[in-house]
Structure 1
Amino acid sequence: MRKILLSILGLLLLAGTGLAAEQGSFKYKDFKKPTKCGACHREIYQEWKDSLMAQSFTHEWDQVEYFKLALPHALKEPKVAGVKGGCIACHAPLAFLAGDIPPKEASAGTRANEGVSCEICHNITGTTEKEPYNFSYTIEPGKVKQGPRADAKPVSHKVAQSDFIRSAEFCATCHDEASPYGAWVKETYREWKAGPYAKEGVVCQDCHMHRAPGKAATMGPKRADIAHHVFQGSHAETKLAGAVDIALYANRTKVRPGDRVNLRAVLFNGKVGHMIPSGSSEERMLWLEVWVIDANGKSWHIPVQPKGFKGEEYTIADPKAYAYQAIGEIMEIPNFKGLKRDGNVPAGARIFRKPFFDPKGRMTICQWYTAKNDLVDYRIGPRETKIENYVFTVPKDAKGPLTIKANLFYSQIPSSIGEFFKLPEFEYKPLLVNSAEITIDLE
């Protein structure tokens, strides 16, 4: 009984005083526009405006994924009908709360385009769940804004000091998600909570909202620890750079043509507080390429040595493997065989992924259509080391010395998806996370 009472008390504390996020429970006019906030919070507004929080609805891939896939699917498949509003609850929460479902496309210029704005985060009072997911936030728009400080004294509104806004649970309300089939399709919060950083008290905001001296508002006091609203994640090259360490080793320093060389690549996730890739990991791509380049610039790609674990075939690039067939069904494309599962990743490269499968057992990027994703999880956890082995035979026509190079790449979506939907190249181009290089003499 005592445990039950404590659990209820915990939920009440998390829930705060606001209303649970429900479709159509408010009106657009209940929320101020970001430009209104920007009049005083100029630097914070500019940071937010350039962030993906501001672009959570207008971003090209989000527009395609919702209007060409999720929405049409929700209208024809009863099991996923909730996606019609569910996606919008986090990607365009003003539209969801105002009942503007489905919202018009970004080109219409509605308030859905404001994305995750100031008035969303600073009006959230808590959550209805002990471990939040699926837009389980409570919200109360009005004159009182939720903030991290008890001594803030703004001119145009009041502030209520909130521990919740500084917690990992705050982020979890949208960054963890279960599909209509009961599969966890976003688990960034749960990955963090199961790892070492949660135990050390390092939360999402510590990495994604760096603190520095400055002012929150033009007329406010200078403080030593203003949280910057850049929200950098895997979309930012500077955030990705060096996120995973790589070391490369060879069992020989001198070789002759025809010699066999054993290579070992050691990868260590020492900087990311959750799995990498995380979030919408059904579409994220992280892969390792190992190349041999001779003195004339001729190169050979070396395939990874299989380890033999269950589901490994999904973690080794195969140009002949096709997936994403549900796209054809949703878009009603006759004789659609799917798209290349691994895009332009070279054959034999190691892919660090957790594949998602639809009810028909096909690999999918439609997270709302995910029935199972427990076959294999070969991503890199926080402070985890993965070792990949390679073998190559020195070509007869190679000219020394030989340079062995390991490159770890990342892209937001498979290139085959980006090319199919004619997305801008920056949406799916490979970003270099890290590299390692050694040289072998050729006698």
Structure 2
Amino acid sequence: MALQTIILLLVSLLLSASQPLASESNPDFFRISRNSYTASEICARCHKDIYANWKESMHAKAVEDPVFMADFLMVQLKRGPQVKEYCLSCHAPTTRVTEDYDLRGTASNEGVACDFCHTVSGLGLIGKPDYYKIDKGITKYGPFRDTESPAHETQYSEIHTKSEFCAGCHELVNGNGVLVMGTFSEWKEGPYSKEGIQCQNCHMPIVYDKNVVDPSVKESSHFVTAHEFRGGHSVINLTNAAVVRTEVEREGDVAKVVTRITNSESGHKLPTGTPARKVVLNTRIIDPGGNLLAEVNKVYRKVLVDDDGIILEDNAGMILNAAQVFSDNRIAPGETRTETFKFDIPDGVDMFTVENTLQYEFSRPILRTEKIVYQMSHEVIEVSGGHASSQVLSTDDSSGRFVILVLAMGVLVIGLLVFFRFDKKKLGTKSSLV
């Protein structure tokens, strides 16, 4: 038995000696492709934290997202399979190089894959098919200087820190020359670009207590740039995007509601992206019995029409058929929009409540489902006589978050005290913490 054990140990040593160490620079050991795209799961072997973050992002789901797939199939039905290249150039951008428009390869099905962004070595003219200059192979480009990897060559890239990097897909002009989606140009024309604040500052902030490289591979920085790319699908971003303040006055049988909406945290218009997205201000007057006395909706959106002047509602129609911008009342970065509504209050109603809700809506008529709605802000103001007597602040109010934080800290402290008290009783005078 002892002899068997010794033989097994010797065999194991020989096998391990024949394999290259993870610390050695050996792309072949890590299965990094030298002439094509490397699957993101390969990247995860070293970049576990970043991969886990990216995997939950809309970039990773850019192909599998059922909303996109519905539009993708509809466009093909209307214009034929040749439009695949147009759509996939952003939803599966590795196809710009591989031409895998039938999505047969692994990288094609990964959406905006790790290896696409990190093989971009330069940028061309916005709107051109060759906007992204690709350097496939073992050199990976990124925003950090003086980095080394045992798996591949590394190269600092300033363009990975600039908004221009995002412009290749977040700026869309259709075949009729209509700017369907202008997120980049909205940023470029606004105050954030003049202050040097890039898309990455908000959508890829620094996250601490995460490793660039798994410690089992090599020592690295313990902070990363977020790869979940929070945007219009993020409740956190939406609730912080705007500040809403409402004042109510009653003059006889008329209630005047003045609401000010400030686009305080978005570097682009509110909303941005495809024009299927809208922001709606809903103002309601409710009596003490809960009865709705009056209601009004103010919609902020970009409206596109076709050659016949028909308003287009779905993404496929906008991309294919938009002939001009009919209207655009979205709120620009830093802008405060003031809305004043007057409501008739019935005789005998001395008290009433004003409910003001700002919500983000994403209508998808192509799927024939309910629209997607996120609440951005909610105010409740009780009015008695001619004065507003109480107010519940918007959901984006920082004091509310502070109270929650204090309560959480209190619960944590109490929990620790209980733990240590129980621990000492259990073990006598010895502590379990060494």
**TM-score bucket of the superposed structures, by smaller chain:** 0.7 to 0.9
Which residue of structure 1 aligns with residue 278 of structure 2?
285
Q: Which runs of 5+ in 1 are unaligned?
A: 1-26, 76-80, 304-348
Task: Pick the aligned partner of 1:379 from 325, 330, 334.
Answer: 330
Give, as a single letter, the amino acid of the residue that structure 2 aligns with 1:141.
K
Are the structure 2 counterparts of residues 181 and 142 from structure 1 closer, same or farther at C-alpha, using a change threshold of 3 Å?
same
Distance change (3 Å), C-alpha of 1:267 and 1:28: farther
Q: Normalising to structure 1: TM-score of the pair?
A: 0.74
SS at match of 2:67: helix
Tell me the amino acid that sits aligned with residue 88 of structure 2: I
- 215-224 vs 289-298, which moves further: 215-224
* 2:201 equivalent in structure 1: 206
Aligned to 2:108: 112
Match of 1:194 among 163, 174, 189: 189
Q: Which moved more, 1:109-118 or 1:143-152?
A: 109-118
* Correspondence for 2:230: 232
Cα distance in structure 2, aligned partners of 1:389 and 1:295:
23
User: RMSD of the TM alignment (CA)?
Assistant: 2.3
- Which residue among 410, 421, 435 is the counterpart of 2:360? 410
Aligned to 1:316: none
1:232 to partner: Cα distance = 0.5
Q: Which has the larger radius of gyration?
A: 2
Q: Select 2:346's aligned residue among 395, 400, 410.
A: 395
| Count, aligned residues | 348
In the alignment, the residues of structure 1 paired with residue 34 and residue 290 of structure 2 have an alpha-carbon distance, to the nearest angstrom, of 60
* Residue from 151, 175, 181 that aligns with 1:180: 175
State the 1:83 CA deviation: 3.1
Alignment of 1:82-121 (within 5 A): 83-103=83-103, 111-121=107-117
Using the aligned pairs only, state the percent identity.
28
Q: 1:360 aligns with which of 308, 325, 346?
A: 308
Q: Is the 8 A contact 1:134 1:177 kept in 2?
A: no
Query: What SS class does the counterpart of residue 202 from structure 2 fall into?
Result: helix
Relative contact order, CA 8 A, sep 6+: which one is greater? 1
Match in the other structure for 1:273: 267
Question: Aligned to 1:143, which of 138, 141, 157?
Answer: 138
Q: Secondary structure at the match of 1:198?
A: helix
Q: For 1:235-314, list aligned pairs within 5 A.
A: 235-252=233-250, 259-280=253-274, 282-303=275-296
Amino acid at match of 2:56: D
For the Cα contact (< 8 Å) 1:168–1:205, is it kept in 2?
yes
Structure 2: runs of 5 or more not aligned? 1-32, 387-434
Deviations 1:391-416 (A, max 9, x none): 11112464x531111101112225xx
Distance 1:233 1:64 in 2: 21
What letter corresponds to residue 113 of structure 1 in structure 2? N
Name the CA distance, whole Å, in 2 between partners of 1:301 and 1:137: 52
| 8 Å contact from structure 1 (residues 28, 98) kept in 2 | no
Partners of 1:382 and 1:350 in 2: CA distance: 19
User: How far, CA to CA, are the matches of 1:45 and 1:38 in structure 2?
Assistant: 5
The runs of 4+ residues in structure 1 deviating greater than 4 Å are 131-135
> Residues 159 and 372 of structure 1: is their aligned pair in 2 closer, same or farther, counting only changes over 3 Å?
same
- In the alignment, structure 1 residue 73 sits paired with structure 2 residue 78: yes
Give the whole-Å Cα distance in 2 for the aligned partners of 1:59 and 1:189: 23
**How many angstroms does 1:442 deviate by?**
4.4
Partner residue, 1:52: 58
- CA–CA distance in 2 between the matches of 1:293 and 1:127? 55
Change (3 A) 1:32 1:301: farther
Deviations 1:274-326 (A, max 9, x none): 0011111x2102111000122111123433xxxxxxxxxxxxxxxxxxxxxxx
Alignment of 1:432 with 2:432, yes or no, is no
**C-alpha distance in structure 1 between counterparts of 2:107 and 2:214, whole Å:** 26
